[in-house]
Structure 1
Amino acid sequence: MTYILGLTGSIATGKSTVSQLFKEYGFPIVDADVGARAVVELNTPGLQAIADFFGPLILQADGQLNRKALGKIIFEDKAKRVKLNELLKPYIRAWIAKQKDLAIQSGADLVVMDIPLLYEANYQEMMDEVMVVGIPEELQLERLMKRDGITKEEALQRMDSQMPIEKKMALADTIIDNSGTPENTKKQVDDWLNQKNFLTSDKD
């Protein structure tokens, strides 16, 4: 039976790093960010839904989504950010469910569901376990400012658009502490995989 692991974190906590470690071991990854892009491609119902609500200014001349324009709107207005999530939620959820089913059909022992807003959108219900990649908020702020070259105010604004990392860690079944070295993070992932016997089956 396939084990479904929900993987989440918050902006700049290192979830993508951990997701990549699972990918390197060959486990299928269902990446919600890929789904979020797929459902707003040209001529999709998702793109039409947000264009109807936000207006033509969020579209480029060729009809594709102007991500920069939309990003500016939703980071400055919480109500509009909530509305965007509401509009796209059914399309993204359907995409994620389909990809999960395809990964299960492939015969994988473990499927990793990489979902940034896992708790915010209640995806935990479809998981056997939820793993949160966490770091202290002060370090999160520091890393985000450095990574994106933004001000403290801008970084805090982006962090506020998600559930606080401390709250996600409190809800987690398993926590990966990403505040140390990459080697330390990898060891925690390896330990989890060994504990669950995912590295001991005949995988070559």
Structure 2
Amino acid sequence: MAHLPLKVGLTGGIAGGKTTVSHLFAQLGVPIIDADTIAHALVAPGQPVLELISQTFGADIILPNGQLNRTQLRQRVFADAKQRQALEAILHPKVFQVIQQQLNQLPNIPYCVLSIPLLLETQRMDLVERILVVDCPPHIQRQRLIEHRGLSFEEIEQIFSVQVSREVRLAIANDVIYNESSLDNLQQQVLKLHQQYLNQQHCSCQ
């Protein structure tokens, strides 16, 4: 009989505050498995996935320093559904493979957080026992994308169009963190959920 950690899937819309929430859980000593971090590592210079992306999208998708031209790739995949599907077919299986490897290496702990922005879009809810949604009003998301990432209105709407709606996320959520006021308020919500997850006994046979 082995104790398996409770797996909490952290998700939410773009620029909703998932990274901040992840950091708050990490500060409490909770292991974080982050799909975005994994994806970044997979497309680092010299990695097979980057070579495959280059072969699929053309050598101009690679910058002179060998790094992926993320801006150009983002613009291309959000403007063309077929290109987006081609990228997802390359990247998603590899990301989920690494997620599983990291899960297998976890020590004996009460729970872990799997930060997967596209958890619902990729239909991988089977990976987690609870879904934690970071909710943020769309107008705040749009404001952050313009101010912090310099995206155009058109780019923002393209991104919103391929993500599940706020209503769908909230309907499927087991837990919700509302990110619309202060960092202190966010910390209080994380602390409350941290205690809740610690109290949940999750035992299973391996």
Return the TM-score normalized by structure 1: 0.87
Q: Does 1:108 align with 2:117?
A: no
Contiguous gaps of at least 5 residues in structure 1: 199-204
Residue pair 2:9, 2:128 contacting (<8 A) in 1 also: yes
1:20-169 mapped onto 2 (5 Å cutoff): 20-61=23-64, 63-103=66-106, 106-169=107-170
Aligned to 1:97, what secondary structure does the other structure show?
helix
Higher relative contact order (CA 8 A, sep 6+): 2
Separation in 2, partners of 1:167, 1:16:
21
- Once the two structures are TM-superposed, the CA of residue 64 in structure 1 deviates from its matched residue by 3.8
Deviates more, 1:122-131 or 1:141-150: 141-150
Q: Which amino acid aligns with 2:146?
A: M
- For 1:202, the equivalent position in structure 2 comes to none
Give the whole-Å Cα distance in 1 for the aligned partners of 2:166 and 2:24.
Answer: 21
Runs of 5+ unmatched residues, structure 2: 200-206
- Cα deviations by residue, 1:108-130 (Å, 9 ceiling, x for unpaired): 22111011111111221010111
How far has the Cα of 1:15 moved from its partner? 0.8
Deviation of 1:63 after TM superposition, in Å, equals: 4.2
Distance in 2, Cα, partners of 1:61 & 1:37: 18
Give the direction of change, closer, same or farther, for the CA distance of 1:64–1:145 in structure 2 (3 Å limit).
closer
| Number of aligned residues | 196
TM-score computed with the length of structure 2 as normaliser: 0.86
Contact 1:57 1:69 in 2 (8 A): no
Q: Percent identity?
A: 35
Tell me the equivalent position of 1:201.
Answer: none
Supply the AA of the counterpart residue of 1:42: P
Q: 1:83 to 1:179 in 2, by over 3 A?
A: same
How far, CA to CA, are the matches of 1:149 and 1:46 in structure 2? 27
